[in-house]
């Protein structure tokens, strides 16, 4: 995209229009109207928010996840086949419940409405991208494999968390040239916390059972102690080298792969359990999230200083305790997996 030079180019407003072929369907979080020539005209908005999900008539579906809510939530699905569009009533109910759970967890919404734009296909790149008010996800159809579908059930909860953690609140480090130490903080503060909250929300809303949650945390790749790469490569360094490790073969145990997201959610579990043990009166995770990511609803958000994102639940002694925890788990080498949270939660 070409745009004029400006101090903040992401804030430039664009008024877009798009021809709408007869019979085609679409979903978008943008405000729009259709003129007499069948052209869709969209209200001016920043270019980063201008997304539309289009499909031929056969394989498109829209679900209203929060009927009658002040801030609407929608799921737009495009798929290779009609079978891939099928959604069990209990799963549709769980996704609707997800919107309520995120509100309870964060305490404020920093968007006017939220849309999931989901492509289920074997013929597109399986990746995605976020803004504060929408998530575009592209995944395989998984039509006939219940285990694969269950394994990807935490995808949408994970990505919705990014609306607060990563979009509304972004480490200040992400707005300037990033050093290796910065990347480690961002990996744990944004990606690790998002992954942890994603599996928590998947369980709370009903997409997963408690056993699914425990199985995920105890999965072999993140908990196995037979990983010699831990002896020399700290977790933060796998984040620094992510652009290389994402596409590298994953069987080289000495090099380590891109595991900073999976490992970081174990670290956040340990931090959560640790602080709860120090103060059992109220759910600490929720109090922390509402203090950092909630507050008064604002559109858009502002940057958060990285020290709060990476280490601070509360000031004083508990914050110092958290800093020690993150240093030893993220920046120091350790031959063992970070299983302190699992042991503490199990009373071991």
- What mean pLDDT is predicted for residues 152-163? 89
pLDDT in tens, 212-225: 888 888 775 555 56
**118 forms bridges with which residues in the sheet?**
77, 137
- What mean pLDDT is predicted for residues 13-41? 79
Q: Report the percent of the chain where pLDDT is more than 70.
A: 73
29-46 exposure pattern, b = at least 16 Cβ within 10 A, e = fewer: bbeeeeeeeeebebeebe
- What mean pLDDT is predicted for residues 85-100? 90
The strand pair at 114-120 and 134-139 is best described as parallel
Whole-angstrom CA distances from 281 to 101, 275, 277, 287 are 21, 11, 10, 11
Q: Report the percent of the chain where pLDDT is more than 90.
A: 13
């Amino acid at each position: 995209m070409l745009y004029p030079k400006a101090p903040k180019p992401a804030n430039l407003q664009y008024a877009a229009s798009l021809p709408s072929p007869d019979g085609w369907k679409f979903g978008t979080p943008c405000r729009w109207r259709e003129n007499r020539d069948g052209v869709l005209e969209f209200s001016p908005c920043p270019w980063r928010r201008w997304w539309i999900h289009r499909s031929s008539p056969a394989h498109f579906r829209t679900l209203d996840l929060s009927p009658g809510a002040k801030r609407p939530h929608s799921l737009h699905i495009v798929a290779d086949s009609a079978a891939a569009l099928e959604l069990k009533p209990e799963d549709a109910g769980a996704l609707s419940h997800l919107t309520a759970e995120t509100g309870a967890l964060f305490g404020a919404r920093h968007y006017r409405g939220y849309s999931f734009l989901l492509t289920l296909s074997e013929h597109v790149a399986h990746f995605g991208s976020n803004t504060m008010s929408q998530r575009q996800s592209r995944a395989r159809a998984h039509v006939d494999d219940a285990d694969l579908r269950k394994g990807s059930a935490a995808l949408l909860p994970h990505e919705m968390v990014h609306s607060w953690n990563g979009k509304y609140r972004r480490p200040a480090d992400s707005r300037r040239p990033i050093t290796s130490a910065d990347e480690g903080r961002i990996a744990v503060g944004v990606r690790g916390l998002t992954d942890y909250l994603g599996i928590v929300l998947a369980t709370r809303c009903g997409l997963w059972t408690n056993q699914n949650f425990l199985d995920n945390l105890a999965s072999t790749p993140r908990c196995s102690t037979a990983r010699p790469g831990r002896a020399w490569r700290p977790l933060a360094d796998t984040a620094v080298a992510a652009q290389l490790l994402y596409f590298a073969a994953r069987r080289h145990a000495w090099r380590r792969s891109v595991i900073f997201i999976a490992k970081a959610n174990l670290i956040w579990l340990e931090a959560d359990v640790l602080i709860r043990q120090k103060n059992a009166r109220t759910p600490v995770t929720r109090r922390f999230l509402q203090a950092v990511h909630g507050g008064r609803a604002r559109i858009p958000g502002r940057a958060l200083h990285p020290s709060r994102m990476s280490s601070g639940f509360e000031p004083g002694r508990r914050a110092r305790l958290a800093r020690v925890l993150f240093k030893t788990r993220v920046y120091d080498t350790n031959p063992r997996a970070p299983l302190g949270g699992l042991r503490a939660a199990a009373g071991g």
